[in-house]
Amino acid sequence: MKIKIGLLGLGTVGGGVHKLLSGRKEAIARQIGSELEIEKILVRDIAKARGLDIPPQLLTTDYREVVNHPEIDIVVELMGGIEPAYQYIRAALQNKKSVVTANKDVIADYGVRLHRLAAEYEADLCYEASVAGGIPVLRGLVQGLASDEIYKIMGIVNGTTNYIMTQMTEAGLDYQTALKQAQVLGFAEPDPTNDVEGLDAARKMAILASLAFSAGIKMETVKVKGISQVTAEDIQAVKEFGYVIKLIGVAKQENGKVEVSVEPTLLRDSHPLATVKNEFNAIYLYGHAVGQTMFYGPGAGEMPTATAVVSDIMEVARNKKLGVGGKGLWQPTAQPVMKTADEIEAKYFLRVVVKDEIGVLNKITEVFSGHQISIENILQKLEKNQNQANIILVTHRLIQSNFEQALLELQKIPGLVDIRSCYKVED
Amino acid sequence: MKIKIGLLGLGTVGGGVHKLLSGRKEAIARQIGSELEIEKILVRDIAKARGLDIPPQLLTTDYREVVNHPEIDIVVELMGGIEPAYQYIRAALQNKKSVVTANKDVIADYGVRLHRLAAEYEADLCYEASVAGGIPVLRGLVQGLASDEIYKIMGIVNGTTNYIMTQMTEAGLDYQTALKQAQVLGFAEPDPTNDVEGLDAARKMAILASLAFSAGIKMETVKVKGISQVTAEDIQAVKEFGYVIKLIGVAKQENGKVEVSVEPTLLRDSHPLATVKNEFNAIYLYGHAVGQTMFYGPGAGEMPTATAVVSDIMEVARNKKLGVGGKGLWQPTAQPVMKTADEIEAKYFLRVVVKDEIGVLNKITEVFSGHQISIENILQKLEKNQNQANIILVTHRLIQSNFEQALLELQKIPGLVDIRSCYKVED
């Protein structure tokens, strides 16, 4: 039995998928009991040199030759971006073809709808590669930890920002230099906004949270803050308290309410996530029964991402062969209720510059206690050659809305020069 | 549709499985579309107080009431040990009941045979909990990374020894003190042999290697060395070279030949496995396509292990419902060829004590170069108040058999007092 595959897109990941399917053809056939064969590939330019051994008649510029092809069983979407990828995936599912995709944008925005469509047409829909490239974390969540209730996820799910933060921390680079270095090495795009402002990570966290909490979590409900404001000075300052700064996605569910955020966050330097360096990704899961587990690996790249895509293809092919395609699908069982700022609890790190005058510190602590915020740790340091002091503090757990009000009041203290930085702390 | 379960054993993990199945009954039913119900439980003593809410008529002391029960679909074996567990599992499979087990001893010794039996009787056989408790690494290997060729596995798969090594490293304890502490905390058994001599880890590595290399790897072919000879002095000595000592299981496949070992091993202190502390486990995988991934989490304990068992039960139940039980089974496809000592390559760390005499160092390097062993790093240190010197060295990659001969020759050097320690190095 041969299972036929149509590819939409033949860029970096598409090329990797082609290499893996051809290079490991026999091993894969042995494992799943069926041969996998690429039947048609949608490309933009048929004449383009790709360095891949592909018969030209496999290539087409018309997506319908893939999604409507009568012999194709599985459509693999590797184009990226919302449109037209979303329409092509819909068309494939409506033709009862199972879909494997690496497209986090489409899944974050339309995952629930596509799952519904897939169930309706008895097709499979898999997207392991959409989150954390080569790390099989979606399977871990949905199958490996299926019996447990996962109540918290912390993820380093963007390699670009993790590379930049690692270089700032270890080589002492400033943000701009680290970003340029990431661009030279190909870890950051010429326009890095999507990565450095946390949008890419937010989409991945929405997907992880949706699967973990069985609810369609919308990207718009994710609180997002990028890394472009993190300074080398901040990194030094937190080090003295035993912390490192990472761009961390957090998804939590408590008493049926959900919060999802992506922001530069302080972690203890001994935390397993703190040791995830450079372009690597990791997802740290908290379950009531299992306790804490972590999945670590490459978050992007041609072959790691292709591994996830082809593993999905193999699963879909196996289901097809067993006649259970589209039968074991994840479906959201709950409507998510997002927490408000009155319900979100967190710890914060704060660095403020004040005039070196009597009473300023006292006024700051007064503002905090007025908002039921207590302080775990505080340090005051004179700045060189200036009549100013740096006050660095870490709060105990507080209510987010109280903290926001306290920050507004702090700014009115006459002796306060500047709130230099403010980060969430995850202990 | 109700799916009925029979438990063999109601100890720590059995109690955890009962708690999870009853506490998350509705959530599980929602996920798999079937209710799971415990029908019968084999115990040694029906009257024993267990603190679990179990109707007495569910308990039996006769295993046949479980494995022959006409309504039971899935038999869950949580007794441990080879006999009679192995016979009960066989009986269950021969009655066409799928089996979930946490029993690493049975799987390491009889995994291939049981897989064959399961296929014959169209039953499923799952054992995620047998390796690294709550970490879903077997699924990661067999499904998540199915498309890739995993050529090397490094694992911290025994919590007892990792706890002891961590305490020796971080608190400076000696081996005996750390072992006693582990026993007080319940991380080590009164007779710790099975853990500290590496036998438990060896079984888990045999299971991992079998799945990764699609070959039945026998426990007897695993080279095993425990941690009972590791001294606080060694830990200090390796620290100066930037290493930590961990009990590491290694499984490698190159050119169709396999090696599997468990021994105290030096890792760079920046390696992700070096940051796995105390009773935690982690498995580090190397794949040609995916590169490096790691799965981290609790390796034992009532609820983590129960999570893995119940996730397996859910998968088997889903297969049952879809009518594909016993159809997606792993089968060994290759006969493993184990490497000989002439084929195994490794790096070693060596600490020898010599008389502080001219020429001894030269004689040592002569022995090494006579066996094609070159040295990466060497350090000579005078011992206090004695006419002796400590020579510490790290070799480049060498052939195992050459090294064994070199060690024999070293002992004949007149100025050599003692080969104090010798560890494999994984960079």
Distance between CA A323 and CA A305 in Å, rounded? 27
Q: How close is the nearest chain B Cα to the Cα of A274, in Å?
A: 10
- Report if residue B148 sits inside a domain: yes
Alpha-carbon distance A287 to B136, whole Å?
Answer: 13
Number of H helices, E strands in chain B: 14, 18
Which position among A4, A204, A225, A320 bears the catalytic label?
A204
Q: Are B208 and B279 members of one domain?
A: yes
Kind plus residue range of the DSSP H or E element containing B100: strand B98-101
Interior angle at CA B214, CA B210 and CA B215, nearest 5: 60
Which tokens is B129 given?
């909990």
Strands of the sheet containing A59-60, edge to edge, are A59-60, A35-42, A2-8, A74-77, A98-101, A125-126
- Specify whether A167 is located in the same domain as A293: yes
Q: How many CB atoms lie within 10 A of CB B393?
A: 21
What is the pLDDT confidence band of residue B54, given thresholds at 50, 70 and 90?
very high
Q: Which residues of B touch A214 (CB under 8 A)?
A: 30-31
pLDDT, tens digit, for every residue of B14-50? 999 999 999 999 999 988 889 999 999 999 999 998 8
Containing B178, the helix (H) or strand (E) segment is: helix B175-184
Tell me whether residue B338 is in a domain: no
CB contact under 8 A, B290 and A134: yes
Of A28, A147, A323, the CB nearest to B147: A28
- A150 and A109, same structural domain? no
Alpha-carbon distance of B156 to B141, in angstroms, equals: 16
Chain A residues whose beta carbon lies within 8 Å of the beta carbon of residue B294: 294-297
* B146/A296 touch (CB, cutoff 8 Å), yes or no: no
Contact (CB<8Å) B311/A30: no
Q: Which pLDDT tens digit goes with each residue over A77-87?
A: 999 999 999 99
User: What is the count of structural domains for chain A?
Assistant: 3
Task: Looking at the structure, tell me whether residues A120 and A167 fall in a common domain.
Answer: no
Tokens, residue B398: 């060498």
Does pLDDT of B169 surpass 70? yes
Q: Does A266 have pLDDT greater than 70?
A: yes
Q: How many other CB atoms are there within 10 angstroms of residue B90's CB atom? A: 18
A327: chain B residues, CB-CB within 8 Å? 322
> How many C-beta atoms lie closer than 10 Å to residue B73's C-beta?
25
Whether residue B141 sits in one domain with residue B127: no
Q: Which B-chain residues 22-41 have CB contacts (< 8 A) with chain A?
A: 24, 27-28, 30-31
Could you list the residue range(s) of the whole structural domain that residue B41 is in?
2-133+302-322
A204 pLDDT more than 80: yes
Cβ B325 vs Cβ B319: under 8 Å: yes
Assess if residue A328 is contained within a domain: no
Decide if A293 and B295 are in contact by the 8 Å CB cutoff. Answer: yes
Same domain, A171 and A287: yes
B-facing residues of A in 156-185 (CB < 8 A) are: none
Residue B68 forms part of a structural domain: yes
- Whether residue B329 has pLDDT greater than 70: no
The CATH number covering residue B413 comes to: 3.30.70.260
- B223 and B106 belong to one structural domain: no
The predicted structure's pLDDT at residue A328: 66
pLDDT at res. B356 = 87
Distance separating alpha carbons of residues B103 and B85, to the nearest angstrom = 8
A142 has a chain B CB within 8 A of its CB: no
Cβ-defined contact of A289 to B313 (cutoff 8 Å): no
Report the complex ipTM.
Answer: 0.91
Q: CB-based contact (8 Å) between A298 and chain B? A: yes
Asked if the model's pLDDT at residue B385 lies above 80, the reply is: no
Q: What is the pLDDT of residues B94-132, one digit of tens each?
A: 999 999 999 999 999 999 999 999 999 999 999 999 999
Looking up residue A110, the CATH number of its domain turns out to be: 3.40.50.720
Tell me the average pLDDT of chain B. 94
Q: Do B290 and A318 touch (CB under 8 A)?
A: no
Nearest CA-CA distance, residue B401 and chain A, Å: 33
Residues of B recognised as catalytic: 204
The residues, ordered by sequence, that sit 6+ positions from A313 with a Cβ below 8 Å of its Cβ are A5, A17, A21, A36, A74, A76, A100, B147
- CA–CA separation, B202 vs B198, rounded Å? 6
Residues B174 and B85 in one domain: no
Nearest CB among A20, A146, A297 relative to B294 is that of: A297
Is A304 in the B-facing interface, judged by CB distances under 8 Å? yes
User: Looking at residues A80-95, what average pLDDT do you find?
Assistant: 97
A329 in any annotated domain? no
Which CATH number characterizes residue A266's domain?
3.30.360.10
Hey, what are A97's tokens? Answer: 């073809």
pLDDT, position A381 = 83
Give percent above pLDDT 70 in chain A: 99
- Looking at residue B225, its pLDDT comes to 97
- Residue A186: CB atoms within 10 A of its CB come to 11
Secondary structure (3-state) at B283:
strand
A286 and A308 part of one domain? no
* C-alpha to C-alpha distance for B36 and B284, rounded to whole angstroms: 34
For residue A235, the SS3 value is: helix
Does A234 fall in a domain? Answer: yes
Residue B327 lies in a domain: no
Q: Which of B1, B147, B331 to mutate to test the interface with A (most CBs of A within 10 A)?
A: B147
Give contacts of B322 with chain A, Cβ < 8 Å: 322, 324, 327-328
Do residue A147 and residue B16 have CB atoms under 8 angstroms apart?
Answer: no
Among B residues 42-101, those touching chain A with beta carbons less than 8 Å apart: none
Q: Kindly state whether residue B336 falls inside one of the protein's structural domains.
A: no
Residues A348-360: pLDDT tens digits?
999 999 998 888 9
pLDDT over 70 at B328, yes or no: no
Nearest Cα of chain B lies from the Cα of A235 at a distance, in angstroms, of 20
For residue B332 the two structure tokens come to 């060994």
Per the CB < 8 A criterion, the answer to whether B289 and A17 are in contact is no
pLDDT at site B334: 76
3 state DSSP class of A336:
coil
Q: What is the pLDDT of residue A373?
A: 97
| pLDDT tops 90 at residue A159 | yes
Cα–Cα distance, A142 to A331 (Å, whole number): 11
Is the four-CA dihedral A9, A10, A13, A18 of positive or negative sign?
positive
Indicate the average pLDDT of chain A: 94
Q: Are residue B291 and residue B158 in the same domain, yes or no?
A: yes
Tens digits of residue pLDDT in A299-324: 999 999 999 999 999 999 999 988 88
Q: Are A129 and A301 in contact (CB under 8 A)?
A: no
> Could you tell me if A245 and A393 lie in one domain?
no
Q: Do A293 and B290 touch (CB under 8 A)?
A: no
Q: What is the mean pLDDT of residues A369-376?
A: 96
Half-sphere exposure of residue A44, counting CA atoms within 13 Å on the CB side? 5
Question: What b-and-e string marks burial along A66-96, b requiring 16 or more CB atoms within 10 Å of the CB?
Answer: bbebeebbbbbbbbbeeeebbebbbbbbebe
Domain boundary residue among B322, B354, B379? B322
SS3 B187: coil
Burial A219-230 (b: 16+ CB within 10 A, else e): bebbbbbbbbeb
B211 and B306 share one domain: no
Residue A38: its pLDDT value, please? 97
**Model confidence pLDDT, tens digit, residues B248-265:** 999 999 999 999 999 999
Which of B278, B288, B307, B331 to substitute to test the interface with A, most A CBs within 10 Å? B307
pTM confidence score: 0.94
